[in-house]
Chain A
């Protein structure tokens, strides 16, 4: 959209020229954070929207475990646990003296209730897979819970630390969408729909006291407005700033702190593996040889992003660098295309959803593929169309999308998934990985799976989506990375 980028560049130019000096008022215990998307509701056990966790995870709600800023599992409502030798039986020791925000006491019954609710037939949990491995959840005594699994599950402790597995109270569970009641350090105060959500420190929280006493999440979707709101000091931070092209404005300004980290978003050139000519591995390999990741990251993301060679996050301890499986080599690519029967190349389409990584990235990829004779028609579509055409009906050649679920390499084991990658060897690897709990075994299998996908060039693997946050320079304790979706307020603090 020409107008859009035009208006943006004018705006940035003006922002440079109009030099501003504002004394940001020192708010010692209040914070205003900007978010691009408003959540549909506030119950993380009843929806997939990341915007829900971005407000309530670790703030309002807590699970048995929690994920820290490095992606490691930490105790939360469970202070410690033991695991049987066969990795089937877990015993969790619960924190005592904990109360929900409505004043009622937390105990093992709430844990049993929450898990059984998520496991139930009519559960609307977005990640039912987390709970499908559970055989039984049992109260041992008021501060001890036993969980028995159907089979050893390697990432069980991580999974129950996600927002989908938070502990709720029976009496209030059904109202959590509009009035969330949890055990976390912050309680829900108010939601002005379309505008903002306010949280306040909970007085009966047992645990480390929090420095920020009041947090307001403000919903700002327009990137230019986001810039102005930061510059004016109306907003103290944007955990995910919507305009990477403007980060320079903030990097050059001492009043701001730019935090660049990674997300769980593998951005890929998704390819229809059942549609000719993309069903031919030679064609996919030719594309892999043609893609210049650095040009895409520079052009589409203004340099923010880490190149990836497979469907795996680089910050994961089991990551292995596969970027050079098919190095950038146009001669080799043309050779492969000729071998596949397309010496002159061919025409195809690429469907691009709204995010700028897709729209800008699509243009760059189209110009790169043109060099080996593949002529792409760019088709801009919105998310509704994408879900319909690409995801549901698989009516596409290529598309660009960021897959943001943590550890989601398992989607390649589903032959009906929209890539339509149907490979029983890979399914066997995934099955084995799911049943392996020891770290060395999981590492070896993860390496193998990453290499497998890279070699088969199932999709074009582009880059790991960066998390580009902008904060007031006096604020500290924010997460740079996003191993899970959330904005943990508990460690945030204003400099004196």
Chain B
């Protein structure tokens, strides 16, 4: 058990190191001098060079990487060029929107996706099963930015129930804040719910043919009881894997959805930072995303061990 945990945690740290190296190098080969970006097209080459020097852009690449990475370790993400404040505080500020949004979307996805999957599995082969799966297939196929626009047209433009976008700060009126997250969260959640439903259904159908279900039935349980007591827990394994991956997709999806709904979250921050060549901000935000996603993966891995005792046992051997 302990070995299993240690292996996973080592993998977690290694992933983050490799990712930070990749992020740094990839952004470094982007054309466009950040100093020229800040000073505009009327500035002289001399003052651009001066600023580049001040920003440390003229140092060799490995030196810049090391000082950046060491900064990360102590929580110093640097100062944003475009906004003149610490990258860390910017990210924390924006996470107050992106994190609730992602969690909100996750809750919606799970509470729609899993019941539909279970329902479909229980009606396996019937018309209602096909109908539910057709619905899910449609859900997978619809891109979330487009679905978001449809939601806006219906609920904001036509019905006028919800705002088309924007965000009321939490400290102003948290009910209004929640209200501004409803449509984006639904738009983000729908494709994920559809995927979850399909995975849940397939997993349940698979386990329903397993020997232990037959054994449970032989001991007198009905098929439904057997599936609820033994099947669902086993079917959760692939579902958990997908959930972990989905969190990564949700976070990536916020970049598009936050732009559609003009929410001032992390996704929009990254989007504008890239277009303004605020490389230090892009790097900081990306590394936070990497940490968040690998952390979720780690949690999921550890959860496996709880759901599936075999994994724990392998650690002991």
Cα A222 to Cα B259 with chains together (Å): 6
Cα A7 to Cα B148 with chains together (Å): 12
Q: Are B32 and A218 in contact, CB atoms less than 8 angstroms apart?
A: no
- Interface window among A12-20, A304-312, A342-350: A12-20
Q: Are A229 and B31 in contact, CB atoms less than 8 angstroms apart?
A: no
CB distance from A49 to the nearest CB of B (A): 8
Q: Looking at the complex, which one of B31, B160, B259 makes contact with A389 (CB distance below 8 Å)?
A: B31
CB distance from B317 to the nearest CB of A (A): 51
CB distance from B182 to the nearest CB of A (A): 15
- Chain A contacts of B169 at CB under 8 A? 192
Q: Which chain A residue shows the least CB distance to B90?
A: A193
> Does B262 make an interface contact (CB < 8 A)?
yes
> Does A224 make an interface contact (CB < 8 A)?
yes
- Chain B contacts of A5 at CB under 8 A? none
> Interface centre among B36, B40, B152, B263, by most A CB within 10 Å?
B152
> Does B128 make an interface contact (CB < 8 A)?
no
Cα A384 to Cα B84 with chains together (Å): 19
With A7-B145, A10-B146, A193-B264 known as contacts, the answer to whether A384 contacts B158 (CB < 8 A) is no
> Does B201 make an interface contact (CB < 8 A)?
no
Cα A234 to Cα B167 with chains together (Å): 12
> Does B153 make an interface contact (CB < 8 A)?
yes
With A10-B146, A382-B32 known as contacts, the answer to whether A192 contacts B264 (CB < 8 A) is yes
Q: Are B260 and A224 in contact, CB atoms less than 8 angstroms apart?
A: yes
Q: Are B160 and A22 in contact, CB atoms less than 8 angstroms apart?
A: yes
Cα A57 to Cα B136 with chains together (Å): 52
> Does B156 make an interface contact (CB < 8 A)?
yes
> Does B191 make an interface contact (CB < 8 A)?
no
Cα A182 to Cα B263 with chains together (Å): 29
- Chain B contacts of A126 at CB under 8 A? 40, 42
Q: Are B160 and A232 in contact, CB atoms less than 8 angstroms apart?
A: yes
Q: Are B32 and A391 in contact, CB atoms less than 8 angstroms apart?
A: no
Chain B residues 224-277 with CB under 8 Å of chain A are: 259-265, 268-269, 272, 275-277
Q: Looking at the complex, which one of B152, B153, B166 makes contact with A218 (CB distance below 8 Å)?
A: B166
Q: Are A384 and B164 in contact, CB atoms less than 8 angstroms apart?
A: no
Q: Which chain B residue shows the least CB distance to A19?
A: B158
Interface residues of B (CB under 8 A from A): 30-33, 36-37, 40-42, 45, 82-84, 90, 93-94, 145-146, 149-150, 152-154, 156-158, 160, 163-167, 169, 259-265, 268-269, 272, 275-277
Interface residues of A (CB under 8 A from B): 7, 10-11, 14-15, 18, 20, 22, 38, 40-41, 47-49, 126-127, 177, 192-196, 218-222, 224-225, 228-229, 231-234, 382-385, 387-389, 391-392
Which 7 residue pairs spanning A and B have beta carbons closest together?
A384-B32, A194-B264, A48-B40, A195-B264, A232-B156, A229-B164, A385-B31
- Sampled A-B contacts (19; CB under 8 Å): A10-B146, A18-B154, A20-B157, A40-B276, A41-B83, A127-B42, A195-B264, A218-B262, A224-B149, A228-B152, A228-B153, A229-B262, A232-B156, A234-B163, A234-B165, A383-B37, A384-B31, A384-B37, A385-B32
